[in-house]
């Protein structure tokens, strides 16, 4: 599926996302910030924005490529074959990697979704404990990338 045909839901944007409205930018057709700016609901009157100064010599330092990623959530399947002795230490490392226990549970319950990079980092934690078999998260969803 291409970004031209991928369904769009404005509510999926992070609340602090800076939108771009610079139609003269040579990168606007492939920029996620500009794409988001074109889809702001009519009842929204203010919010963070990319200023024109971000564009210097034809390049925008705040450019984010418009792309679709496969996000993941949920950790139950990851732990199906994990030995009891390794379960708690692995969970703690994942919690530390994600920033807190609260954040861990937000990813576990699908409130937040993991980027492909985060998924690989979590797989690396399992590999460090000797778990090299292919692992899956509980669920996956395709979404626009905001990183």
Amino acid 2: pLDDT? 63
Whether residue 70 is predicted with pLDDT greater than 70 in this model: the reply is yes
pLDDT band at 4 (very low <50, low <70, confident <90, very high): low
Percentage of the chain exceeding pLDDT 90: 82
Task: Provide mean pLDDT across the span 62-80.
Answer: 95
Amino acid 3: pLDDT? 65
Amino acid 147: pLDDT? 74
> Which residues of 11-74 form beta strands (DSSP E)?
55-56, 59-60, 68-73
Whether residue 23 is predicted with pLDDT greater than 70 in this model: the reply is yes
Q: Tell which residue, 55, 70, 69, has the closest CA to residue 20.
A: 55
Whether residue 1 is predicted with pLDDT greater than 90 in this model: the reply is no
Amino acid 37: pLDDT? 92
| Domains in the chain: boundaries | 10-60, 68-144
φ, ψ at 11 (rounded to 5°): -65, -15
Helices (H) and strands (E) in the chain, counts: 4, 4
Q: Burial letters for 29-64: b for 16+ Cβ neighbours within 10 Å, e otherwise?
A: eebbbbbbbeeeeeeeeeeeebeeebbeeeebeebb
Q: How far apart are CA 26 and CA 127, in angstroms?
A: 43
Residues 72-124: tens digit of each pLDDT: 999 999 999 999 999 999 999 999 999 999 999 999 999 999 999 999 999 99
Angle subtended by helix axes 84-98 and 116-128, to nearest 10: 150
Amino acid 5: pLDDT? 72
How far is C-alpha 136 from the geometric centre of its chain's CA atoms? 17
Amino acid 10: pLDDT? 81
Burial of 100 (0-12, 13-18, 19+ CB in 10 A): exposed
Higher-pLDDT residue of 14 and 22 is: 22
């Amino acid at each position: 599926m291409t970004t031209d045909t991928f369904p769009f839901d404005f509510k999926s944007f992070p609340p602090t996302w800076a939108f771009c409205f610079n139609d003269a930018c040579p990168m606007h057709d492939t920029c996620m910030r500009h794409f988001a700016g074109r889809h702001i609901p009519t009842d929204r009157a203010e919010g963070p924005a990319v200023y024109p100064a971000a564009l210097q010599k034809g390049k925008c330092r705040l450019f984010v490529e418009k792309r679709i990623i496969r996000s993941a959530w949920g950790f139950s399947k990851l732990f199906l074959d994990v030995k009891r002795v390794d379960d708690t230490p692995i969970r703690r490392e994942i919690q530390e990697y994600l920033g807190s226990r609260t954040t861990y549970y937000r990813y576990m319950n699908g409130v937040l979704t993991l980027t492909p990079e985060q998924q690989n980092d979590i797989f690396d934690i399992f590999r460090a404990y000797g778990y090299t078999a292919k692992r899956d998260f509980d669920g996956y969803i395709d979404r626009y990338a905001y990183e």
